[in-house]
């Protein structure tokens, strides 16, 4: 039997073990009998619980109040968990609507986590800009951090020390991607997680890489030895996707639209910012229309105001016993 390998990270506010009602109680006896519950290395009060099917994962989400309906509600607080891999049969036995809902609910927490990582760096840059504006000299560690961010975000600097121009240029790149847009692109590029590239390489966004990765069956020789980039986890794929939008010259218009929204005091939204992704697909404007339609049909705009619950980490693993 093929392993249904999904790893989740989730906790309650106290960090203590949660009592799972419908799914948890049903599976707890089975998991204990199989020795599936044990303390994880990173937290003594962490436990591992196996959920044997996508239906049970979907039921678990429903049981903790993380439903398809709440996904479409504004200012949603999302539980923290991480999916460690895309199982081949993750959507078997689910209706189309249930499949889509499970896909979006599984990905949203990771999208928000990666956005939080970016926001941590962005907040540092905003504070650095305030310091430079007030004439305060930067510490050596802060200078080093600005230099590291410049390298990570592929920003060439003409000066030996960070200045306001450097910080402002970085702020156009070190920024979040609207969750609705990330979810829509992941759905399109990975066929809701069912594509070969998603299953074999956790590749959710169809990113290319030359000389290394998964070879397309119908590789176009005139474009060289391009591959689909593969990743250790879906979260790594999300990180790479956001870094791509934030650094690639092809998506400068996306960054310009986002910066304009920030300047106007608005939260960047997925549907409007999709206009900056004409270069993402050979379909051009048709691709933009597809993303916007998908966002609208699935009520994904509400996820742009979602946030993560304040949890200490807990890890859940699902798979057949």
Dump the DSSP string for 242-273.
Answer: HHHHHH-GGGHHHHHHHHHHHHTTPPP-HHHH
Tell me, yes or no, whether 185 and 291 share the same domain.
yes
Does 79 reside within a domain?
yes
CA atoms of 171 and 255, how far apart (whole Å): 10
Structure tokens at 196: 């070969």
What distances in angstroms separate CA 225 from CA 20, 71, 221, 237, 311, one per listed residue?
A: 48, 40, 7, 21, 44
Instruction: Give the range of the structural domain holding residue 226, as residue numbers without chain letter.
Output: 179-237+248-308
pLDDT of residue 38: 25
Task: Give pLDDT tens digits for 88-125.
Answer: 777 788 899 999 999 999 999 999 999 999 999 999 99
pLDDT of residue 29: 36
Q: Is pLDDT at 235 greater than 70 in this prediction?
A: yes
Closest Cα partner for 110 from 73, 83, 70? 83
pLDDT of residue 18: 40
Three-state DSSP class for residue 214: strand
Tell me, yes or no, whether 107 and 23 share the same domain.
yes
| pTM recorded for the entire structure | 0.81
Chain position carrying tokens 């986590």: 113
Tell me, yes or no, whether 210 and 303 share the same domain.
yes
Task: Give pLDDT tens digits for 197-228.
Answer: 788 888 899 775 545 645 555 544 444 444 56
Higher pLDDT, 140 or 27: 140
Q: Could you give the percent of the chain with pLDDT greater than 90?
A: 54
Tell me, yes or no, whether 102 and 117 share the same domain.
no
Tell me, yes or no, whether 303 and 191 share the same domain.
yes
Does 45 reside within a domain?
yes
8 A C-beta contact, residue 316 and residue 56? no
Count the neighbouring beta carbons within 10 Å of the beta carbon of residue 22.
13
pLDDT of residue 233: 87
Domain count, the chain: 3
Tell me, yes or no, whether 56 and 163 share the same domain.
no
Tell me, yes or no, whether 190 and 292 share the same domain.
yes
Tell me, yes or no, whether 188 and 302 share the same domain.
yes
Q: Is pLDDT at 126 greater than 60 in this prediction?
A: yes
Closest Cα partner for 303 from 187, 203, 170, 153? 187
Q: What is the largest CA-CA distance in the chain?
A: 64
- Among 152, 173, 194, give the residue marking a domain's end: 173
Label residue 56 by pLDDT band (50, 70, 90).
Answer: confident
Average pLDDT, the chain: 79
Q: Is pLDDT at 129 greater than 90 in this prediction?
A: yes
pLDDT of residue 4: 45
């Amino acid at each position: 039997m093929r392993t249904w390998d999904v790893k989740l990270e989730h906790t309650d506010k106290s960090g203590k073990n949660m009592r799972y009602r419908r799914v948890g109680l049903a599976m707890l006896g089975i998991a204990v009998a199989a020795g599936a519950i044990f303390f994880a290395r990173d937290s003594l009060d962490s436990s591992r619980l196996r959920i044997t099917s996508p239906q049970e994962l979907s039921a678990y989400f429903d049981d903790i109040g993380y439903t398809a309906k709440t996904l479409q509600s504004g200012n949603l607080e999302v539980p923290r968990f991480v999916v460690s891999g895309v199982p081949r049969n993750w959507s078997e036995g689910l209706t189309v609507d249930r499949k889509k809902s499970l896909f979006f609910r599984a990905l949203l927490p990771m999208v928000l986590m990666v956005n939080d990582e970016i926001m941590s760096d962005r907040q540092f840059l905003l504070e650095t800009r305030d310091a430079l504006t007030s004439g305060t000299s930067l510490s050596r560690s802060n200078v080093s951090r600005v230099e590291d961010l410049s390298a990570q975000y592929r920003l060439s600097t003409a000066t030996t020390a960070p200045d306001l121009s450097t910080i402002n240029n970085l702020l156009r790149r070190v920024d979040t991607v609207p969750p609705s847009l990330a979810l829509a692109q992941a759905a399109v590029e990975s066929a809701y997680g069912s594509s070969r590239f998603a299953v074999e390489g956790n590749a959710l966004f169809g990113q290319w890489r030359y000389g290394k990765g998964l070879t397309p069956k119908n590789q176009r020789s005139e474009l060289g030895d391009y591959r689909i980039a593969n990743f250790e986890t879906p979260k790594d794929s999300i990180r790479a996707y956001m870094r791509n939008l934030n650094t690639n010259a092809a998506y400068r218009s996306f960054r310009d639209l986002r910066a304009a929204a920030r300047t106007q005091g608005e939260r960047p939204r997925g549907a409007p910012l999709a206009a900056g992704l004409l270069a993402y697909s050979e379909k051009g404007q048709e691709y933009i229309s597809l993303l916007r339609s998908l966002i609208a049909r699935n009520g994904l705009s509400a996820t742009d105001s979602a946030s993560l619950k304040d949890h200490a980490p807990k890890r859940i693993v699902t798979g057949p016993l």
